[in-house]
Structure 1
Amino acid sequence: MNDPSPIRKPSRIQQRNRKLILDAALEVFSNHGYRGATLDLIAARAGLSKPNILYYFEGKEDIHVTLLNQLMDSWLAPLREIDPMGDPMEEVLAYVHRKLEMSRDLPRESRLFANEVLQGAPRMAPHLETVLKPLVDDTADLIEGWIAAGKLAAVDPRHLLFSIWATTQHYADFDAQVRVLMDEADVQEGARAHLDMMFRRLLVP
């Protein structure tokens, strides 16, 4: 019996085109939301024809889900990097700093995530339930352990995480407003100092 044919790896052109499509789609989805995005807009942004888009993806939803899957991996990485053996205060603040850096470096991804959740997470719900929730549960247990040991002030761990997400992702999701209202050349530097002080004061036992 012959062995099944090996799976062929995508060519460089195929890899390049997929990357072009996903990058264009990220721009379109983050600016127009899922409902406002169209394959025509994505094709125009990518510089490819609509049939070429459909050669690589089944349709708009397939592209959107692919982007969300990639996003979740990078979005959850800082939460997974919290070290249970590290200094509790510094570990939480390092997480705040990393999330703030992501708002600077990945603003389109932040808006993509926000738009999906605002719509009720119709395409991301399985990830929220099976990937995000267990990770948040584990992180909440870790923080509760630090609180019980007297290393952090008594706060609700989940509300703490919500506050971190809200304050850091604001700088990506409301970037246009921030740039109008702030005169600082480096908004990130001021934001980092402010959030560091705020959360440190909140969490000192």
Structure 2
Amino acid sequence: MKDRDIRPFFETLRAANPHPTTELEYTTTFELLAAVLLSAQATDVGVNRATRRLFPVANTPQALLDLGLEALEGYLGSINLYRTKARHLLATCRILLDEHGGEVPRTREALEALPGVGRKTANVVLNTAFGEAAMAVDTHILRVANRTGLAPGATPLAVERGLLARVPPEYLLDAHHWLLLLGRYTCQARLPRCWECPVAKWCGYQPKTPAPRRA
């Protein structure tokens, strides 16, 4: 993607969705952290289905510890890798209580020190909960950044650095959500829906996918 195309690319995404946010359901910063931790290799829909049952029962570090591993696994059974995630979530709860007064820390280093929390999860929390211009690169954003030519890279970290360098400052806060939603619903892995993409004219992907023929 040419430098001159980046600003209209993001301006168009902002016009279509001025206030994007995560599709994970949460009401507190801890709920967001827990939901993002659970979402690794799982869909937001599946995580939301589980947390709609879990959070009304236990939605704080102490409440989850009181719930216990076996009961927690019962709530998370529909989520991929739920046993490992349940252990990580409870270990995270213990660290939050012991080292952070039960609060979610606001630094990348402290977040990444939590069990089951990697760079992507930390970036989501920093961006969505604390308003930092962090770029959480998942499979959707990795694909969109490469396919459009916006920030080509072989690894999430390379793409993250490329996006932080190329996205204009006024779009950085929301860029993660715009790119994720673009990849989830339009620039899909198997067949990019170029014929209905609002930013196709600035995208470097060729050849563009034509609209399907009507029967």
- Which bin holds the TM-score, normalised by the shorter protein? under 0.3
Q: Which structure: larger Rg? A: 1
State TM-score, norm by structure 2: 0.27
